[in-house]
Amino acid sequence: MFVWVIWVVLFPIHVMAESNSSFVSKVPFDKLTLKEQLTRVVLGEASIEGLKGQQAVLNVIANRNKSKKHKTYKETINDGFSVLNNKDSNEYKSMMSIPKDHKTYKQVEGMVNILLDPKQKLKDITNGADHYFNPKLYKEKNKGKKPPKWTRELTKSAWIGNHTFYNSKWSKPHERGFLDSLSYKEKPP
């Protein structure tokens, strides 16, 4: 927990130190290109989760976009990603300060390029998840409060890094042991 807190606080400094650029976005989020918005939301939601965690968040965005509720990726992005809820938060500022020439930005941007290219297919490692939740982060920020009700109502479809992924299209929670048969999983957080 202590290491994670330090990482979140120092991430923008760490990113700026690694970069050859002093880029800090002066462009408001809603004025960024679709590719930039997708890249930054993934970084804001899963910057320290590694490539698998970042791909999983991008999978959730893609899966939500496939639903009838959203017509465009921009609508999907603007509906329910916590990093966009508070523009004064450290998470939002970190997301907007990551330089485009930073290694992590380029890696996520590469996955976004695959997602947006109709000739390519980004593999879904979440088993169709359209929601995710970070129980460790929630406990740190909401001491003593129960996790949101939806985390008990939706069916878990994968565990990747610190996130639990859920598929709302599966009508019944599956039997215990179901996750043993999934194509990709890590130990639960």
Could you read off the pLDDT of 83-133 as tens digits, one per residue?
Answer: 998 889 888 999 999 999 999 999 999 999 999 999 999 999 999 999 999
The sheet carrying 163-167 orders its strands as 131-133, 163-167, 155-160
pLDDT at 170: 65
pLDDT at 115: 96
Residue 82 is classified by DSSP as: G
> Cα 77 to the chain's mean position, in Å?
11
Is 90 exceeded by the pLDDT of residue 54? yes
Is 70 exceeded by the pLDDT of residue 24? no
Gap between the Cα atoms of 7 and 18, Å rounded: 14
pLDDT at 55: 96
Tokens matching residue 136 = 């460790």
How many CB atoms lie under 10 A from the CB of residue 155? 18
Gap between the Cα atoms of 59 and 114, Å rounded: 11
pTM for the full model? 0.78
Gap between the Cα atoms of 92 and 132, Å rounded: 18
**84-to-17, 41, 152 alpha-carbon distances in Å:** 25, 8, 24
First to last CA, the chain: 12
Mean pLDDT for all residues in the chain: 80
**Amino acid making up residue 12:** P
pLDDT tens digits, one per residue of 142-189: 888 999 998 988 889 999 999 999 988 765 444 334 444 454 445 554
